[in-house]
C-alpha cells in the first residue's frame, strides 16, 4: 500500500511516460478550517482522470471539469484560490470561513517527477523547489522538520517518509500493521532474530533485520519522529526493545498484550533501571478499545493510537484498552449484582406467608 503522496507521484510519472499531459495540484496555503493540510497533492490527467485529494471532493470536481473543458494548455504554474467568499465556501464544500490556495503545475520532463519518485521509493526525504516563472523543479535533501514554503516565486514541498516505525516481530499481525503503516507514510523497519519468521517475510516496502531488538533500537538512533511497537509476546525480545526505546525521545512506545501481561512487563522493566517517568511512557496494552479480535482489527486499533500520539492528541483513559476494559468489567459487575438482587427480591415475594 503506497501513501497518498507516493500514489500521486507514481501516477503522474506513469502518465507522462504514456504521453499524457498532467496537472499537479498542491495545497500551498490555507486560512481557517480546511479539509486537507498544506502540501496535500492531486494529479489530474488530460482526460480528467484524477488521483489524490485537496479537499472534500467539490474542488476536485471543479478542477476535473476545468481540465475537460479547457484541457491542460498552460505552460507555467499558476495560483488559484477557493472559498474566498461564503458562497464559494458553500459551493466547494469548505468548512465555514475556510479558504484554500493551490498551485496548478503543468508537468513536463523538466518537472523531475520520475527522479522524485525514485528517491522517495528508496526512503529518502527530498525537498522539491519549483520555480514558478520557469516551471522547472530542483531536488535536494530535506530535513524531517522542513515544511511547505511558498512566496509566490518558488514553491518548496517535502516528499518522503517523515516518520519512522520500528516493529518488533515479523508475525501475522505485523504484516497487517506494517502494510497500513506504509500507507500512512512511515518508513518501517521490522526486527526479528527468529529465522522462521524472517525467511517467510514478503511484505514490500519494509526493511527487515535479524539483529537483536536492543541493538536495533540503538542502531536506529530513534528521535521524536519515531514509533516503536513490540508484537512478539516474547519477553526475551519485546523487553529488550522496550528497555532501550523508553529511554529515547520516540513519540510512541507500545507493546501488545493483556492487562495482566502488561502489569508483569512493567515489573520486569523496573529491573532494567528504568525510571518511573520512563515507564509511564509505555503504551500497554497498545491500541484503543474497539473490540478488536482479528489481526487486521488489532492493527487498526494500534495504529489509531499511534496516529493520535503523532498528532499530539491525548486520548481519554476510557478510549485506551486498559481503561475501557476496566470500565467494562465494573459495568458487568454492577449489572450482575443488580440481577442477583432482583432475583432475590422476586424469590422473596413469591414465598407464601402465614
Domain boundary among 141, 159, 177: 159
Average pLDDT over the chain, rounded to an integer: 87
Would you say residue 327 has pLDDT above 80? no
What's residue 59's pLDDT? 87
198 and 303 fall within a common domain: yes
Among 36-45, 237-246, 337-346, where is mean pLDDT lowest? 337-346
Q: Which residue has the higher pLDDT, 36 or 208?
A: 208
Task: Return the closest-CA partner of residue 69 out of 42, 105, 44.
Answer: 44
Let me know if residue 326 belongs to a domain: no
- Which range of residues forms the domain containing residue 93? 4-159
- The predicted model gives 212-241 an average pLDDT of 94
pLDDT band at 87; cut points 50, 70, 90: low
Q: What angle do CA 278, 279, 281 make, to 5 degrees?
A: 70
- Res. 348: pLDDT tops 70: no
pLDDT score, position 165: 97
Mean pLDDT of 301-315: 94
Indicate the residue among 159, 188, 223 that finishes a domain: 159
For the segment 82-110, the average pLDDT, to the nearest whole number, is: 75
Percent of the chain with pLDDT over 70: 87
- Residue 153: predicted pLDDT: 95
pLDDT on residue 351: 47
Same domain (yes/no): 172, 299: yes
State residue 86's pLDDT score.
63
Q: What is the DSSP string of 209-274?
A: E-S-HHHHHHHHT--TTEEEEE-S--HHHHHHHHHHHTTS--SEEEE---HHHHHHHHHHHHTTT-
What is the pairing mode between strands 207-209 and 282-283?
Answer: unpaired
Distance CA 251, CA 241 (A): 15
According to the model, what pLDDT value does residue 324 have?
A: 73
Task: Specify whether the CB–CB gap between 227 and 310 falls below 8 A.
Answer: yes
Residues 205 and 295 reside in one and the same domain: yes
- Cell (9 digits) for 287: 491500541
Residue 90: pLDDT over 70 = no
Are both 149 and 168 inside the same structural domain?
no
Model pLDDT for residues 246-272, shown as the tens digit of each residue: 999 999 999 998 889 989 999 999 888
214 contacts 243 by C-beta, under 8 angstroms: yes
Q: Which of 274, 289, 310 is the last residue of a domain?
A: 310
* Mean per-residue pLDDT, 198-211: 89
- How much is the pLDDT for 91? 64
pLDDT band, very low/low/confident/very high, at 1 (cuts 50, 70, 90): low
CATH of residue 220: 3.40.50.720
106 found inside a domain: yes
87 belongs to a structural domain: yes
Question: Long-range contacts: 16-22, Cβ < 8 Å, 24+?
Answer: 16/107, 16/108, 16/109, 16/113, 16/114, 17/114, 20/45, 20/46, 20/47, 21/45, 21/46, 21/71, 21/72, 21/106, 21/107, 22/46, 22/72, 22/106, 22/107
**Top mean-pLDDT range of 36-40, 151-155, 161-165:** 151-155
pLDDT(343) > 60: no
**Domain co-membership, 132 together with 8:** yes
Mean pLDDT of 294-323: 89
pTM reported for the whole predicted model: 0.73
Cβ proximity of 282 and 269 under 8 Å: yes
> Which of 140-144, 236-240, 252-256 is predicted with the least confidence, judged by mean pLDDT?
140-144
Amino acid at each position: 500500500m503506497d501513501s497518498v503522496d507516493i500514489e500521486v507521484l507514481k501516477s503522474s510519472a506513469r502518465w507522462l511516460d504514456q504521453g499524457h499531459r498532467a496537472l499537479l495540484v498542491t495545497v500551498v496555503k490555507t486560512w481557517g478550517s480546511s479539509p486537507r493540510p498544506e502540501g496535500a497533492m492531486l494529479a489530474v490527467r488530460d482526460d480528467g482522470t484524477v488521483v489524490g485529494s485537496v479537499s472534500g471532493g467539490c474542488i476536485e470536481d471543479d478542477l476535473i471539469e476545468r481540465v475537460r473543458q479547457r484541457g491542460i494548455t498552460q505552460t507555467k504554474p499558476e495560483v488559484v484560490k477557493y472559498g474566498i467568499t461564503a458562497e464559494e465556501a458553500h459551493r466547494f464544500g469548505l468548512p465555514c470561513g475556510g479558504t484554500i490556495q493551490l498551485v496548478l503545475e503543468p508537468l513536463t520532463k523538466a518537472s523531475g517527477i520520475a527522479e522524485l519518485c525514485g528517491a522517495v521509493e528508496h526512503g529518502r526525504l527530498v525537498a522539491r523547489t519549483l520555480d514558478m516563472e520557469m516551471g522547472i523543479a530542483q531536488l535536494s535533501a530535506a530535513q524531517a522538520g522542513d515544511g511547505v514554503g511558498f512566496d509566490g516565486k518558488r514553491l518548496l514541498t517535502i516528499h518522503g517518509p517523515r516518520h519512522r516505525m520500528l516493529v518488533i516481530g515479523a508475525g501475522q499481525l505485523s504484516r497487517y500493521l506494517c502494510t497500513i503503516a506504509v500507507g500512512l507514510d512511515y518508513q518501517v523497519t521490522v526486527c526479528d532474530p527468529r529465522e522462521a519468521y524472517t525467511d517467510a517475510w514478503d511484505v514490500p516496502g519494509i526493511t527487515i533485520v535479524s539483529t537483536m531488538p536492543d541493538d536495533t533500537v540503538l542502531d536506529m538512533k530513534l528521535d521524536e519522529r519515531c514509533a516503536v511497537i513490540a508484537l512478539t509476546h516474547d519477553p526475551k525480545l519485546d523487553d529488550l526493545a522496550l528497555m532501550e526505546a523508553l529511554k529515547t525521545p520516540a513519540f510512541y512506545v507500545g507493546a501488545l498484550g493483556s492487562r495482566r501481561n502488561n502489569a508483569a512487563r512493567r515489573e520486569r522493566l523496573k529491573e532494567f533501571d528504568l525510571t518511573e517517568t520512563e515507564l509511564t511512557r509505555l503504551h500497554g496494552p497498545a491500541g484503543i478499545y474497539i473490540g478488536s479480535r482479528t489481526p487486521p482489527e488489532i492493527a487498526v486499533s494500534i495504529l489509531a493510537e499511534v496516529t493520535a500520539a503523532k498528532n499530539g492528541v491525548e486520548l481519554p483513559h476510557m478510549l485506551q484498552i486498559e481503561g475501557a476494559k476496566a470500565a467494562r468489567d465494573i459495568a458487568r459487575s454492577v449489572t450482575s449484582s443488580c440481577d442477583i438482587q432482583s432475583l432475590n427480591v422476586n424469590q422473596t415475594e413469591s414465598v407464601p406467608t402465614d
